[in-house]
Amino acid sequence: MARTGTKRDGGRDARTSATLPPAAVEGDVALSDAQRLELYYWMRLTRSLEERLVNLYRQTKVVGGLFRSLGQEADAVGSAFALEKHDVLSPLIRNLGSMLVKGATPVEILKQYMAKADSPTRGRELNIHFGDTERGFIGQISPLGDMVPVMAGVTLSFKMRRQPRVGLVYVGDGATSTGAFHEGINLAAVQRCPLVVVVENNGYAYSTPTSKQTLARQFVDKAAGYGVAAEQADGNDVIATYEATKRAVDRARRGEGVTLVELITYRRKGHAEHDNQSYVPAGEIERWERDNDPIARYVTRLNAEGVGADVLAGIDARVQREVDDATDLAEQSGVPEPLDALTGVYADPSVVPPLWFREGKRSAVDSHERPEGWGTFDAPAKGAD
């Protein structure tokens, strides 16, 4: 099995098809056969779960928008797979695969999208914006780049407590333009935090192409400006993604600080389901689908390595069963009780009282508090001349 991924030309512009930087020193990044099949399972689960969400979205069972990672499953799964159980990652909207690897379950994802009472955020947040520090993933927020400083702090705590843990934060090509990205990676760099910053270069930030995001020739070039190590990999090659990220993770765990990892991939769907992608040049999406689908590429590779079609079909069947079971379970859950909206803003006080017009009053007027002598305009003015 090849140890270093090389980018296959998927038809993107020259900037993102740039030659790889000099290969970093390789650590022990070999995967077992079982792990290689596990990578396939996570990618297949990601895609099937999102396909199920599309169905639910069309049935109006998804309350808000739906965000696909179609075509990016390898970069999400391969990078997260490089972390250990006690490591912590912060995903992006297109990192469903990373969250599944870190222990998020299909039923949680479905309940969350359907705003169920027993969803991970009890109906407070949308889509895959949720986390669990025990399992090692922290929910993102919508302002992009903000999770870089937060993960700088998470990993700063690892350093301060001398824990052998690593953090990984995903940003898109668009988020690299934010002040939060800059401040976060710079702070993590000077503090030598054990942090891996993954830039998922998928070509577009909503409708804006990378050419309008930065004049840098490639995102890894930014690493030099921060004095941090760099890795670049073909994000549609799950093994290459894993290997590049693993080198960065190992470096962080050795106390060698931050690595910026650029994973080159392509967003085949719009920003969300409502986005008709009118800004995408004709044929671009089709070319990536035909030539550079991460799952199809990986299947070809596994087949060439002797993994039988029956083995992969078995995994597909397992995934289908799990998604079906999760859907049945999620659909049974109820909606949140309205009063739960007023709990948990603070630890203390833990509940905000409802406003008077939501207290269930039947009458608009109850008694006045100070019936006798209301108003003292006819009493002697106190303190007047």
Partner 1 sequence: MPEITYLEAIREALFEEMERDADVFCIGEDIGAYGGAFKVTDGLMAKFGEARVIDSPISEIGIVGAAAGAAHMGMRPVVEMQFIDFIANAYDMLTNYVATARYRAFLPCPMVVRGPSGGYVRGGPFHSQNPEAGFIHTPGLKVVYPSTAEDAKGLMKAAIRDEDCVLFFEHKYLYRRIKGVMPAGDHVVPIGKARIAREGTDLSIITYAAPVYKALEAAELLEREDGLSVEVLDLRTLAPLDDDAIVSTVKKTNRVLILHEDTRTGGIAGELTARINESCFEWLDAPVLRVTAHDVPLPYAPSLEDFVLPQTADVVLAARRLAAY
Interface with partner 1 (CB under 8 A): 121, 124-125, 129-131, 133, 138-139, 141-143, 146, 148-158, 160, 179-180, 183-184, 186-188, 190-191, 344-349, 352, 368-370, 374-377, 381-385
Instruction: In angstroms, give the least distance from the CB of 130 to partner 1.
Output: 6
> Of 176 and 186, which has the nearer Cβ to partner 1?
186
Instruction: In angstroms, give the least distance from the CB of 124 to partner 1.
Output: 5
Q: Which is it for the CA torsion 155, 156, 157, 159, positive or negative?
A: positive
Sequence-distant (6+) residues with CB within 8 A of 343 are 350, 351, 352
CB atoms within 10 A of CB 285: 18
Instruction: In angstroms, give the least distance from the CB of 103 to partner 1.
Output: 16
Instruction: In angstroms, give the least distance from the CB of 125 to partner 1.
Output: 5
* Cα dist from 296 to 44, 240, 293, whole Å: 10, 15, 5
* CA-based nearest residue to 252, from 218, 229, 279: 229
> Of 11 and 153, which has the nearer Cβ to partner 1?
153
> Of 282 and 379, which has the nearer Cβ to partner 1?
379
Q: Answer yes or no: are the C-beta atoms of 330 and 111 closer than 8 Å.
A: yes
> Of 60 and 346, which has the nearer Cβ to partner 1?
346
Residue-by-residue DSSP string for 302-336: HHHTT--HHHHHHHHHHHHHHHHHHHHHHHH--PP
> Of 281 and 371, which has the nearer Cβ to partner 1?
371
> Of 20 and 187, which has the nearer Cβ to partner 1?
187
> Of 34 and 381, which has the nearer Cβ to partner 1?
381
Q: Give the distance, in angstroms, between the CA of residue 289 and the centroid of all CA atoms in the same chain.
A: 22
> Of 205 and 319, which has the nearer Cβ to partner 1?
205
Q: Answer yes or no: are the C-beta atoms of 98 and 241 closer than 8 Å.
A: no
CB atoms within 10 A of CB 134: 8
Instruction: In angstroms, give the least distance from the CB of 372 to partner 1.
Output: 10
What is the C-alpha to C-alpha distance for residues 340 and 123, in angstroms, rounded to an integer? 9
Instruction: In angstroms, give the least distance from the CB of 187 to partner 1.
Output: 4
CB atoms within 10 A of CB 306: 8
* Cα dist from 32 to 29, 68, 102, 111, 308, whole Å: 10, 29, 19, 34, 16
Tell me whether strands 204-205 and 208-209 are parallel, antiparallel or unpaired.
antiparallel
CA angle 126, 131, 137 (to 5 degrees): 135
> Of 23 and 160, which has the nearer Cβ to partner 1?
160
> What are φ and ψ of residue 195, in 5° steps?
-125, 135
